[in-house]
Chains A and B, each alone.
Chain A
């Protein structure tokens, strides 16, 4: 379960948001919607530990997470809009790298987990390919596999449908539902309302549900 309490972010005198409160229960999909430029990505980067918050708390499965921008570990799995795959590694190595470096899994363990994740996400045939050889939808699923390999407490997506065609969008909806069925807690930041409707149990409207 993810709980966010009184979260606030401002730059100098400009308040992006304040007193933001939300809860995502285990296995739930929460979508965060709102027009572009309203601070959704800023919020996601704070959740990801990439940006400091000015105030507030973030508790994931009972553990308070750092909000100063100096977080260590991979408690929050992030699927970036541009995926940020590592171009010099194969799909499988992208998935295997962090578990070995951070969780000190053996190569065999990491490989076994990667094989399973890639199979789950329909990427077995792409395991030995490089990111530049993949379609947008495939890259996104690699990013999901890479994040899941770290066994995060929650998966957070930034605009997962941007740049995807209708077919790939259907596919990512299916993936999110499949992960939900496996009990993965997910947070989806999007401006695509039909998509949010299709995947989410709950919707948080960044336009009306936060203070500024």
Chain B
């Protein structure tokens, strides 16, 4: 018990980093994912091609590799040198936006054509149709899949250790190897469970709230 209290401060500071990566990724990748999903449905061939290529690369390579590439690779190639945290967040946003875009694309496809027709004969513009009719329905449709991604993101955030960021996992690693005990890992696991439980509770609340219609 005493030992737990002793390592708690360093774990909590790691937790802060984990939460920072998590929250910023979510804030950045959801809107970007919506834009990419809309671009996938664009009439412009080049835009569709570029977004498809982007999704292919982001989903087709390991996130770990992408983090290394953005942090070290872009710097070595003299393109841009990002600080560790920024590099991590940018990579996470780009990666998760690709997954979210695919989820939103599926959501957009499951809104029946009749909804677009109904809006059009009432004189709604394309943008009004999206904002007032289609997107609210998409949000409800995609919520379970988005919740799934959010839980994955909580755990994926541990990958930032590769560029030396002091997140929860790394704090646990340091304590475990310094004190030659597995106790820190147990605590780390519990803290991740708490985070994902919180995410799940929020997701369920949102889903319940949207259940007022079918």
Contacts and interface: CB of A to CB of B under 8 A. Distances in A.
Contacts of A122: none
Contacts of B121: 48-50, 74, 76-78, 147
- Give the size category of B's interface with A: 20 to 34
A98 B129 CA distance: 10
Interface string B106-121: 0000001011011111
A62 interface: no
Contact of A102 (B112, B123, B212): B123
B55 to A, nearest CB: 28
A85 B140 CA distance: 17
A24 interface: no
Given A80-B114, A84-B115, A130 B120 contact: no
Contacts, number: 62
B117 A130 contact: no
Contact of A146 (B122, B125, B136, B137): B122
B123 A86 contact: no
B36 to A, nearest CB: 24
Contacts of B122: 74, 97-98, 102, 146-147, 150
Interface in B123-179: 123-125, 128, 132-133, 136-137, 140
Contacts of A147: 121-122
A74 B123 contact: yes
A135 interface: no
A77 B123 CA distance: 10
The 7 closest A-B pairs by CB, nearest first: A84-B118, A98-B122, A74-B123, A84-B114, A102-B123, A132-B214, A78-B121
Interface of B: 112, 114-115, 117-125, 128, 132-133, 136-137, 140, 212-214
Given A48-B117, A72-B123, A87-B137, 15 more contacts: A73-B123, A74-B122, A76-B121, A78-B118, A80-B117, A84-B114, A86-B115, A87-B213, A88-B213, A98-B122, A101-B128, A102-B122, A130-B213, A132-B213, A150-B123
